[in-house]
Structure 1
Amino acid sequence: MGDIPKAVMEVEKRKKKVKKDNRIPKGEEVGYRQEVRVIQSMEDEPLPSIFNDPIHGHIEVHPLCVKIIDTPQFQRLRDLKQIGACYFVYPGASNNRFEHCIGVCHLAGQLARILQKRQPDLDISDKDILCVEIAGLCHDIGHGPFSHLFDAKFIPEAIPGFKWKHEDASKMMFDFLIKDNKLEEEFKKYGVGDKDQTFIREQILGPQKDTNRAYPYEGREENKRFLYEIVANDRNGIDVDKWDYFARDCHGLGIKNTFDHNRFMKFARVIRVNDSFQICSRDKEAETLYGMFQLRSVLHRRAYKHRVCNAVEAMIVDALLSADKVEIVPKKDRTCLTLSQCISDPEGYTKLTDSIFHVILMSTKPELEMARTLLERILHRQLYRCVGDTTPKRTPREEDTEDGKFVVEDLKKEIITYVIENTNGQLEKADLYIDIVLLDYGSKTRNPIDNVRFYTKNDPNNADFLKMENVSLMFPEVFAEHIIRLYYKKTDTKSMQIASKAFEEWCADEQNDYSLHSKFPDNTTET
């Protein structure tokens, strides 16, 4: 009864008095029965829980979302750093996937409700909103240890050629979460049926390219395609996932968040464009959205792709690869899995978090000695050293490269071969690590604003693209660049200097186009 307002408490007292006297006071029969029905409806329908979030303040969370949160599969997110190894460089970057997912759930519901109220003709139901909230809540439950490090760097090395991403694991964990915690009845209780669960999975996974259908979704009809743009927008990248991690990561990193997602929501409208319903924005918001994409680039440059963060990540990846030879993740049947085997076993994946760092450190198994040594080096700050970096004068456009991809592996081999051959055997391949970083605005080499539709104040029901010159003449002409970094894995200063000099010679070679954009540390012993 603690959640029922005082006014209703008074009605409850009268209810007890009626029961005691065995009669309803004369003249109050109709009002009394109406008040009792109010109480019964409040007792039957669980109230939303209130979460106090440091970014969004006090937010309401639907009872079904709370049921999902209160499971081991979701609680594991408490031990997954949102921005991986950045915590080893930025002391405030301790935010986890747990609070991020709750924040995305909140923003997804907020945007959906704004569209529901602003445009009733869209026929957005409360169940649509609940499904979008659940998708936001569960979109990242498939992340592995140290977040993107696991699916972008560890798995490609552990299982070469195997195509897998954390969204695949999120779908696997969503299905396992429902089954393992017997939540089928809870979903039915709130009217979330099989088709709705398909809708949730599709939002998590994104559109599947292997389908022959013109419309790639089954969970919702084509007139509600815009709902798929709320959590993860594959059309232009403007979605609530970014809004939350922008705000949350900036808060932890100490970098000012220059994008106001609440303002964007004020101008969001769903408009039919070429038989497809899309979330569009006012024309005057184009510069604000450009600022959003610029903020993404700033976060990648200053934090996510920071040279020391990437050095720590490389050491963690090497440690995990070494540990992957040993079965160290236990299951209920007392069998164990290797780290890479967990991606196809939801029970094992539930136990796979950042804690694997300390599991390896505390292990006494001889097979984990190399992995332990690498992790101990991180704790002693004996990191891989960046001995030089360079940037191509021009980042290849997709149409310039084979299969639309920058041939990263060929360039890595070329650099390492040159360095080894020009140091008279003083360096070995195992001593070197090449990291090739792409910094962009979210659309590779293209202007991200080119993918956004805008409407005008005088014509709010039609939307079109905007030309750059109609927005501002100060937009950049280049929207992406590569940074090539050479790291030396050992700690002796002489070899570091040899590696740095050889890399500098490679950059200065006339056949390459890097010499004017290269940087080499004055002291190769600095972190």
Structure 2
Amino acid sequence: MKGNVSKVRNFSISNRIKKEFGQLKRNIKQTYVCPLLMPYVMMPVKGVKAVVEVACQFRDPIHGMIPLNAGELAIVDSEPFQRLRYIRQLGTSYLVYHGAEHTRFGHSIGVMFLVGRAMDVLKEKLPEQIDDWEYERLKQIVKIAALLHDIGHAPFSHVGEEEDGLFPQLQDYDGELDYGHEVYSRLIVQNCFKDVVEQNKYLRELDIDIATVLSFMKGNVLEPKWFFAKELISGQIDMDRMDYLLRDSYYCGVKYGEYDLHRLLDTLTICPSPEGIWQLGIESDGVQAVEGFVFARYWMFIQVYFHKTRRILDYYLVNFLKECLPKGHYPTDVREYLEYTDNHILELMGAKAPRNLWAKRLLRRECLSEVFVSNPHQLMHEEDGFSDYHKLGWIDKVLREKFPINSEPENYYVDQAKTLAAKYQISPSTFLSGETEEESKKLYAIPVKDKHTGTIKPVQDYSLPIKNLSDLKINIIRVYANKEHHVQEDNVTAYEKVKQYMETVDGEWQKHVEEMKDLEKRYKEMQSEKEALSKRFQ
């Protein structure tokens, strides 16, 4: 058996135990099954209940024992999936938080496990009765999609996806053009997992085909009542986030990503929209669990994912990859792409380090120093009509005029790290064919079902903290400069020169604001004069 798994002993089970186990499952709704009965799960197959042996269990530091059936194990044992053992979950963060050596391998298995738990919870809360076999098939499809959702990550995970050029444009399985690790994931699934899924005896009994898995991975859910299942993989309260927050927090040794997972899962529900779309939502008793979850993600982005040292190390790595990858980007051929891992890039970096500045700096952790960092949020100032966005845009423009940021990237760098804290609404246009996102009717991003009345409202109606965060961007601007590089004409270092300027920037900004106000005033006066002249000569 490959990997960190333990085989489960294969032994016969009496009809009496089968019957008692079935009764136990019906009478006791709980997440974890008795360990003695774990090797067997009851699965409806085309209306007939059959005992299916769990092929193996993974010991996971976040979720405990994770059982896999034969179909899931076949996917995990494949070479493309085993590659994820060599793709770090948090990119270069292991050079900041030394415990962050965890990989996409464990995360993918964790997401699959949580999807299974969520589907079990939601089965008891369906708006209408669904055939057991049909629901079990849906559950297995979504678990496979969850297991494979990160199969296409490049070395060091998300590093470079914000940059133009490192990820080539690819033709997706459905013919559309796209960039990034997600399109690689779908192409890898299409090219490498068709036989693994469709020829597996266990998965064949559920009539699972690779086209349906790909559809869920892209979010193209044609059946409105299955929209909630798609949201388990990619949504505002999806299992991807639920796993990575706890996992990343654990391995980084921080507490920012912790929240009440068990309460959150227990209060998941399905919220039908007036159009018949079944959304993933939360019961009103679970609002506080959602608050903890939303703020855990908010804190992790500010404190871990957007850490100042991690951002500059990513910058070094991207520059190195652009210089050293063939043609300056990852290969378009899927098989060739799968040969790239963290180890491959680190070996290449070690070989190039004597002659490559970016490789040498990253391996030695010789980082540019932070000179300036903005607040995480930019607000509008009513008194002068200008926002923090205007100010930061002006700072970026002036810095590029005063300092050789573009011509000396080794000495100066301006970084922008941004994401959305929480959404108020989403669009269901992914499955409503012919509708654009603008045309489709918006849904609540996190709907809440009232436990007494059954009415559905946005979580913002129940939670003031989430309301205040909704649609508010985390947008952190940083300026870095080299403390070792001396600017000859000024006899100071690059860092000192930028720092001296940044100490005067608030005053310079106020002068700029006054100039803009004067220009606006003069423009209005000219418009008035023009209108007066027009009336005079009519």
Range into which the TM-score falls when normalised by the shorter chain: 0.7 to 0.9
CA shift for structure 1 position 293: 1.2
**Aligned pair partner of 1:434 in 414, 420, 424:** 414
2:255 is the alignment partner of 1:272: no
For these two proteins, the number of residue pairs brought into alignment is 435
CA contact (8 A) 2:91 2:159 kept: yes
Task: Spell out, residue by residue over 1:202-261, the C-alpha distance to the aligned partner (whole angstroms, 9 max, x if none).
Answer: 222234xxxxxxxxx34xx2222221111112xxx1100000001101101122243122
**Aligned pair partner of 1:378 in 346, 356, 362:** 362
2:231 is the alignment partner of 1:229: yes
CA distance in structure 1 between the aligned counterparts of 2:376 and 2:203, rounded to whole angstroms: 57
| Aligned twin of 2:138 | 128
| Aligned twin of 2:156 | 146
- Structural mapping, 1:145-224, within 5 Å: 145-153=155-163, 155-156=164-165, 163-178=178-193, 184-186=198-200, 190-191=204-205, 193=207, 196-207=209-220, 217-218=221-222, 221-224=223-226
Q: Give the aligned residue type for 1:175.
A: Q
CA distance in structure 1 between the aligned counterparts of 2:108 and 2:196, rounded to whole angstroms: 22
SS in 2 for 1:394: coil
SS in 2 for 1:292: helix
SS in 1 for 2:161: helix
CA shift for structure 1 position 498: 0.9
Name the CA shift for 1:189/1:296 in 2 (closer, same or farther; >3 Å).
Answer: closer
CA shift for structure 1 position 118: 4.3
CA contact (8 A) 2:165 2:329 kept: no
CA contact (8 A) 1:81 1:97 kept: yes
Task: Spell out, residue by residue over 1:305-350, the C-alpha distance to the aligned partner (whole angstroms, 9 max, x if none).
Answer: 00011111111111111112xx4xxxxxxxxxx56242x2111111
Q: Give the aligned residue type for 1:222.
A: P
CA shift for structure 1 position 81: 0.8
CA distance in structure 2 between the aligned counterparts of 1:474 and 1:183, rounded to whole angstroms: 40
Name the CA shift for 1:151/1:370 in 2 (closer, same or farther; >3 Å).
Answer: farther
- State the Cα RMSD in Å: 3.9
CA distance in structure 2 between the aligned counterparts of 1:185 and 1:201, rounded to whole angstroms: 16
CA distance in structure 2 between the aligned counterparts of 1:485 and 1:503, rounded to whole angstroms: 12
Name the CA shift for 1:259/1:2 in 2 (closer, same or farther; >3 Å).
Answer: closer
Contiguous gaps of at least 5 residues in structure 1: 12-40, 208-216, 328-337, 398-405, 515-527
SS in 1 for 2:101: coil
| Aligned twin of 1:484 | 477
CA shift for structure 1 position 190: 2.5
TM-score, length basis structure 1: 0.72
2:350 is the alignment partner of 1:349: no
Name the CA shift for 1:512/1:481 in 2 (closer, same or farther; >3 Å).
Answer: farther
| Aligned twin of 1:443 | 423
| Aligned twin of 1:211 | none
**Aligned pair partner of 2:80 in 73, 78, 93:** 73
| Aligned twin of 1:56 | 63
CA distance in structure 2 between the aligned counterparts of 1:482 and 1:445, rounded to whole angstroms: 20
| Aligned twin of 2:403 | 420
CA distance in structure 1 between the aligned counterparts of 2:312 and 2:258, rounded to whole angstroms: 28
Q: Which has the higher helix share?
A: 1
CA distance in structure 2 between the aligned counterparts of 1:477 and 1:408, rounded to whole angstroms: 22
CA contact (8 A) 2:391 2:509 kept: no
Name the CA shift for 1:278/1:122 in 2 (closer, same or farther; >3 Å).
Answer: farther
When structure 1 is superposed on structure 2, of 156-165 and 314-323 the one drifting more is 156-165
Identical residues among aligned pairs (%): 21
CA contact (8 A) 1:75 1:98 kept: yes
| Aligned twin of 1:15 | none
Q: Give the aligned residue type for 2:412.
A: L
When structure 1 is superposed on structure 2, of 283-292 and 59-68 the one drifting more is 283-292
CA contact (8 A) 2:349 2:359 kept: yes
- Structural mapping, 1:240-319, within 5 Å: 240-256=239-255, 257-274=257-274, 275-319=276-320
Name the CA shift for 1:505/1:204 in 2 (closer, same or farther; >3 Å).
Answer: farther
Name the CA shift for 1:71/1:157 in 2 (closer, same or farther; >3 Å).
Answer: closer
Name the CA shift for 1:7/1:319 in 2 (closer, same or farther; >3 Å).
Answer: closer
CA distance in structure 1 between the aligned counterparts of 2:512 and 2:182, rounded to whole angstroms: 37
CA shift for structure 1 position 359: 2.2
TM-score, length basis structure 2: 0.71
2:450 is the alignment partner of 1:456: yes
CA contact (8 A) 1:158 1:321 kept: no
Name the CA shift for 1:52/1:339 in 2 (closer, same or farther; >3 Å).
Answer: farther
Contiguous gaps of at least 5 residues in structure 2: 1-6, 18-47, 171-176, 382-388, 427-442, 487-492, 514-538
CA distance in structure 2 between the aligned counterparts of 1:501 and 1:445, rounded to whole angstroms: 44
CA contact (8 A) 2:415 2:477 kept: yes
When structure 1 is superposed on structure 2, of 69-78 and 265-274 the one drifting more is 265-274
Task: Spell out, residue by residue over 1:466-515, the C-alpha distance to the aligned partner (whole angstroms, 9 max, x if none).
Answer: 554x544896468334221111257336222112223443454225899x
Q: Give the aligned residue type for 2:295.
A: Q
CA distance in structure 2 between the aligned counterparts of 1:174 and 1:158, rounded to whole angstroms: 18
Q: Give the aligned residue type for 1:248.
A: R
CA distance in structure 2 between the aligned counterparts of 1:498 and 1:359, rounded to whole angstroms: 36
Task: Spell out, residue by residue over 1:13-62, the C-alpha distance to the aligned partner (whole angstroms, 9 max, x if none).
Answer: xxxxxxxxxxxxxxxxxxxxxxxxxxxx9999553311111110011112
CA shift for structure 1 position 158: 6.7
SS in 2 for 1:281: strand
Name the CA shift for 1:109/1:413 in 2 (closer, same or farther; >3 Å).
Answer: same
When structure 1 is superposed on structure 2, of 222-231 and 293-302 the one drifting more is 222-231
CA shift for structure 1 position 450: 6.0
Q: Which has the higher strand share?
A: 2
CA distance in structure 2 between the aligned counterparts of 1:489 and 1:91, rounded to whole angstroms: 24
CA shift for structure 1 position 105: 0.6
CA distance in structure 2 between the aligned counterparts of 1:202 and 1:511, rounded to whole angstroms: 52
- Structural mapping, 1:360-399, within 5 Å: 360-363=348-351, 370-371=355-356, 373-391=357-375, 394-395=378-379
Q: Give the aligned residue type for 1:340.
A: H
When structure 1 is superposed on structure 2, of 99-108 and 144-153 the one drifting more is 144-153
CA contact (8 A) 1:85 1:309 kept: yes
